[in-house]
């Protein structure tokens, strides 16, 4: 019974929500373990997405210079390796790391360099997704998408929009996503989390994503489910995070199993390893224990994730071969 040893792909993972206590303590020795537990991690059930997002600030406040950005990135690679992840797409918002005088390009350069070191050190393959945030201005969104364009091929693989979908409309970001589409950039977008299916429709119409971050509330509109299947839009599902932000009361009420059975392309992800207080192995265990998921479900979710990954067809093929070989050799009696 070893879910840790099976190879895993993770597509939805926020860098600044994934600091271990070890690296936090190195960056600020004054943060006690208790404080870390209470203010970096979200409660099992927060009041709302906003309450959840407030925890993320503790992470990015510590990531404001090249040394700390590199330490946090390498720390995440250690966590991924320990969790059996073989490929991850790690996302962050460069604009949140300018408080101590770094500029946007420097921030991305440092994190991209740290990703290269992490890959070399751990063997975990990875790419970076740069995020704009819902409350950002049109100008900030454009700056962010232009970073994706200029760092394309230098570890950066895609563009995302995150944060409070209920509080801020799509308007400020339409031109940035138009630019992304015009330039053939890979696009994902958070939607269908705090808001219902209408936010997924709105996101599809304005941001042209090939993947949706969460998107779980699409199940409230079966026409939308059929549309997502027809268009082969992949859902990056993060069960534990959805319980914490109060979308569902418990894992038993989470639609992961329903979505899977609908035949939609989906993967399982942690969202943030610290803030959600969960590993991908533990997410898989929850699905096994609550929905009876076994090798077939987990294998298909990972193969879906490879298909939806932001990489070329030849790299996908190589990753798929590596995944299948490791899968064959792992302990599949769980």
Those residues whose C-beta lies under 8 Å from the C-beta of residue 193, and which sit 6 or more positions away, are 49, 165, 199, 213, 214, 215, 216, 217, 242, 245, 247
> Min. distance of Cβ 252 from Zn ion in angstroms?
22
Which CB, 18 or 122, lies closer to Zn ion? 18
Q: Site map for Zn ion, 121-160, x if CB under 5 A?
A: ----------------------------------------
Partners of 129 in beta bridges: 91, 158
Instruction: Write out the two tokens for 75.
Output: 């720390």
DSSP codes, 140-188: HHHHHHHHHHHTBTTTEEEEEEES-TTTS-SGGGHHHHHHHHHTT-EEE
Residue nearest to Zn ion (CB): 271
Which CB, 4 or 55, lies closer to Zn ion? 55
Judged by CB under 5 A, how many residues of this single chain contact Zn ion?
Answer: 1
Cβ atoms of 155 and 127 within 8 Å: the answer is yes
> Min. distance of Cβ 194 from Zn ion in angstroms?
11
Q: Site map for Zn ion, 268-307, x if CB under 5 A?
A: ---x------------------------------------
Which CB, 65 or 271, lies closer to Zn ion? 271
> Min. distance of Cβ 159 from Zn ion in angstroms?
14
Cβ atoms of 17 and 270 within 8 Å: the answer is no
> Min. distance of Cβ 242 from Zn ion in angstroms?
10
Is residue 193 part of the annotated active site? The answer reads yes
Our CA dihedral for 228, 201, 212, 176, rounded to 10 degrees, sits at 130
Which CB, 68 or 242, lies closer to Zn ion? 242
Active site residues: 193
Binding site for Zn ion (CB under 5 A): 271
């Amino acid at each position: 019974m070893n879910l840790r040893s099976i190879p895993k792909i993770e597509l939805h993972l926020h860098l600044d929500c994934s600091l271990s206590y070890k690296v936090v303590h190195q960056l600020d020795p004054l943060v006690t373990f208790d404080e870390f537990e209470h203010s970096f991690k979200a409660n099992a059930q927060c009041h709302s997405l906003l309450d959840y997002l407030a925890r993320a600030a503790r992470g990015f406040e510590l990531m404001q210079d090249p040394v700390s950005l590199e330490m946090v990135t390498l720390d995440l690679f250690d966590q991924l390796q320990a969790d059996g992840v073989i490929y991850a797409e790690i996302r962050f918002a460069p604009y949140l790391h300018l408080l101590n005088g770094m500029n946007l390009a420097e921030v991305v350069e440092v994190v991209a360099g740290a990703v290269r070191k992490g890959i070399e050190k751990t063997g975990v393959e990875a790419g970076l997704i740069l995020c704009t945030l819902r409350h950002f201005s049109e100008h900030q969104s454009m700056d962010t998408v232009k970073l994706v364009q200029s760092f394309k091929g230098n570890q950066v693989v895609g563009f995302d929009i995150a944060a409070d979908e209920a509080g801020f409309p799509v308007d400020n970001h339409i031109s940035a996503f138009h630019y992304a589409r015009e330039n053939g950039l890979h696009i994902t977008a958070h939607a269908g989390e705090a808001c219902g299916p209408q936010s997924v429709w709105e996101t599809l119409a304005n941001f042209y994503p090939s993947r949706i971050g969460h998107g779980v509330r699409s199940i409230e509109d079966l026409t939308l489910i059929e549309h997502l299947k027809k268009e082969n839009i992949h859902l990056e599902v993060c069960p534990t995070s959805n319980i914490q932000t109060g979308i569902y009361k418990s894992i038993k009420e989470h639609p992961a199993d329903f979505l899977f059975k609908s035949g939609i392309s989906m993967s399982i992800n942690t969202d943030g390893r610290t803030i959600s207080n969960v590993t991908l192995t533990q997410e898989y265990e929850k699905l096994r224990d609550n929905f009876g998921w076994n090798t077939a479900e987990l294998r298909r979710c990972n193969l879906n994730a490879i298909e939806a990954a932001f990489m070329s067809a030849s790299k996908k093929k190589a990753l798929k071969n590596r995944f299948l070989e490791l899968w064959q050799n792992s302990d599949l009696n769980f």
